[in-house]
Amino acid sequence: MKELGKISQKSVTSPVSSDQVSMIEIDDSAAGQRIDNFLLRVCKGVPKSHIYRILRSGEVRVNKGRVDAQYRLAFGDLVRVPPIRVAKADEAVHAPVPSAHFEILFEDEHMLVIDKPAGVAVHGGSGVAFGVIEQLRAARPQAKFLELVHRLDRETSGVLMLAKKRAALVNLHEQIRANRMDKRYYACVHGEWASDWGRRRAVKEPLHKYLLPDGERRVRVQPDGLPSHTIFNLVDRWPDYALLEAELKTGRTHQIRVHLAHLGLPIIGDAKYGDFALNKALARANAQPGLKRMFLHAYRLKLTHPATGDTLQFEAPLPADCKRFIAQLAGTAGAGTHEQSQTETKTHGKRAI
């Protein structure tokens, strides 16, 4: 198929053009990456909603064919990207990326594991100029390869893993697909944990992802949705509240948040699926108890090292504001009674990046 107008040949690290078609041949550094994530990287500053729009419309082509957002790029693929004409996109390209400051839980030549704070997106897009990955790349200009292994929602804190080599990324993605990676979260919810559930409740409600008119993602329980499985373990409870451990068996978008809302146990501070009136009351100054964020924290990640085969476990302590909220619920001055043992965790000490 002959392209109309100007065509620009680009490398996988070059930003796309705003006035002509870009043709990008995929090399080893981009092979295995999802097309939507790849486009978010090369179309710097372009809203995520626009990226998904040009994918849905077929303006983005791979080897002259249409692909969906989940398509994984292969070595040698030829990607056609249309001219990106979005207001202020050019200014976003040149906007300076602030220096990163994240606590490191583990690092070697294959992988990097950090403790992500709440309120920081993992990557730019949807009105976010830059996220964790952009900040880390800016802080490490000498790094030849650095990619997110998985995602955390912007308001979720905790363990986040990145790959420093393509082979490590492929191996870790395979562990995720084969359900060999153990991900655990803490969530504080509003509502009553039913007595007939005991201390463990499995939820297997299928989830469907859709877009609002403004391009924002939402997820709902729907019979023809993707199979989804979460196990919730009761850690502690108080009148109208409960602290739960969530164990992911699948990794769907907003899975924990939607499954808990479906149970009638919305996560405290969840601005998409939570109790909005309660969230507002808890966020007021001097509220008791009070919390100004979503109480969802990825506290533990267990996996096999992609190169050595060793079993590794990483833990991120509960943030101070979440500890304080639990202490207020418990009516005690101290916090930290719900922290898990660190005895199995292989960490190399926390340091700032």
Residue 162 phi, psi (nearest 5): -130, 150
Tokens 């850690």 sit on residue: 235
For 45, 64, 145, 223, 323, the CA distances from 162, given in Å and listed in that order, are: 21, 31, 10, 34, 27
Q: In what order do the strands lie in the sheet with 7-10?
A: 7-10, 21-25, 78-81, 61-62
E-state strands within the chain? 7-10, 21-25, 61-62, 78-81, 103-107, 111-116, 147-148, 157-163, 182-190, 200-203, 207-211, 217-221, 230-238, 241-248, 296-304, 311-315, 351-352
User: How far does CA 161 lie from the centroid of its chain?
Assistant: 10
Tokens 């463990």 sit on residue: 200
**Secondary structure class of 161 (helix, strand, coil):** strand
Cβ proximity of 311 and 302 under 8 Å = yes
Instruction: Identify whether 153 is a catalytic site residue.
Output: yes
Q: Which of 115, 153, 270, 275 is catalytic?
A: 153
Residue 91 phi, psi (nearest 5): -65, -35
Phi-psi region of 328 (alpha: psi -120 to 50; beta: other; left: phi over 0): alpha
Tokens 């996220």 sit on residue: 131
Residue among 254, 190, 270, 263 at smallest CA distance from 220: 254
Cβ proximity of 338 and 235 under 8 Å = yes
Residue 331 is which amino acid?
Answer: G
Active-site annotation, residues: 153
